[in-house]
Amino acid sequence: MQLFYSKEITETGYATLDTEESRHAVRVLRMREGDELHVTDGCGHLYRCAIVAADASACVVETLLEVTPPADTPRCRLHLAVAPTKNPSRMEWLVEKAVEVGIDELTLLDCDHSERSFLKTDRLERIALSAMKQSLHLSLPRINPAIALQEWMESGEGRAEKAGAVTQKFIAHCEAGQPRTPLDEALLPGHDAVVLIGPEGDFSEEEIQLALRQGFQPVSLGPSRLRTETAALYAAVAFSVKNEE
């Protein structure tokens, strides 16, 4: 199945695919008027549509019916807050893989030990969109631009919270001196989660203390020393495994 994306798509009426999606449908796949395709709004909905104007830069589609979302839509939300790596390609890789495995939100964290690197979130958003389509997810994860850890803590690290549900909050630091629970043990199935992943130089002592005061549980991610992006994906897979049942 080939999945298309349009912010505008609804259960009735018409929508115009953006340039890239239009080009893909009309130029690459050579679709014509009357051809049917599946379009998601990136908010959990999937529609079967028909092309009414096969324009390679502004393809217009009409919704035929809403398709019941497949069971793959995640019941629990995972929000990763990650200190960007110095090498942007490692973060781009993380976004692709984490979206395939299934996350709902990614926040770039400026930490005390961060190697400042200006990451274009629009590029990460494009990668997230194509990974969403590739893995047939119907929810487009939100990518939040870099924010200082302290500011983020104060402003609302609870963004992943779902009304009524308790969100588990974790910080995966590497301070061997301090007690940490394996993430897998700490995770409760059926709950949203926020996981903080630090920079190569780890979180500073102040950042760890701040997180603990804010109710974040310290967790470990397996026995190995993992790179930042590997640690973040490890957390995403552990969350997926825990909520698979």
Which C-beta is closer to a second copy: that of 16 or that of 135? Answer: 135
Shortest Cβ distance from residue 161 to a second copy (Å)? Answer: 22
Is there binding between residue 176 and a second copy (CB under 8 A)?
Answer: no
- Structure tokens given for 57: 């830069």
Taking the C-alpha atoms of residue 40 and residue 117, their distance in angstroms, rounded to an integer, is 33
Interatomic CA distance for residues 91 and 117, integer angstroms? 11
Q: Is 184 in the site for a second copy (CB under 8 A)?
A: yes
Among 126, 142, 191, 227, binds a second copy (CB under 8 A): 227
Q: How far apart are CA 93 and CA 146, in angstroms?
A: 17
Contact segment (CB under 8 A) with a second copy among 39-47, 153-161, 211-219, 223-231 equals 223-231
Element (H, E) at 231: helix 228-242
Other CB atoms closer than 10 Å to residue 154's CB: what's the count? 11
Q: Considering the rule CB under 8 A, would residue 215 count as an interface residue with a second copy?
A: no
Binding of residue 234 to a second copy (CB under 8 A): yes
Between 129 and 136, CB nearer to a second copy: 136
Q: How far is the CB of 233 from a second copy (least distance, A)?
A: 7
Among 72, 115, 154, 206, binds a second copy (CB under 8 A): 72
Q: How far is the CB of 227 from a second copy (least distance, A)?
A: 6
Q: Return the amino acid letter for 109.
A: L
Site for a second copy in 75-134 (CB under 8 A): 93, 97, 100-102, 134
Among 135, 150, 204, 217, binds a second copy (CB under 8 A): 135
Polymer length in residues for the chain: 245
Among 136, 147, 186, 212, binds a second copy (CB under 8 A): 136
Cα dist from 244 to 63, 71, 144, whole Å = 31, 11, 26
Min. distance of Cβ 154 from a second copy in angstroms? 32
Report phi then psi at 108, rounded to 5: -85, 125
159 in Cβ contact with 184 (< 8 Å)? no
Q: For the chain, first and last CA: distance in Å?
A: 25
Smallest gap from Cβ 27 to a second copy, in A, equals 22
225 binds a second copy (CB under 8 A): yes
Q: What 8-state DSSP symbol labels residue 244?
A: -
Is 170 an interacting residue with respect to a second copy (CB under 8 A)? no
| CB neighbour class for 17 (10 Å; exposed up to 12, middle 13-18, buried from 19) | buried
Tell me if 39 sits within 8 A of 61, measured CB to CB: yes
By CB under 8 A, how many residues form the interface with a second copy? 30
Q: How is residue 135 annotated by DSSP? A: T
Site for a second copy, rule CB under 8 A: 71-72, 74, 93, 97, 100-102, 134-137, 182, 184-185, 222-227, 230, 233-234, 237-238, 240-241, 244-245
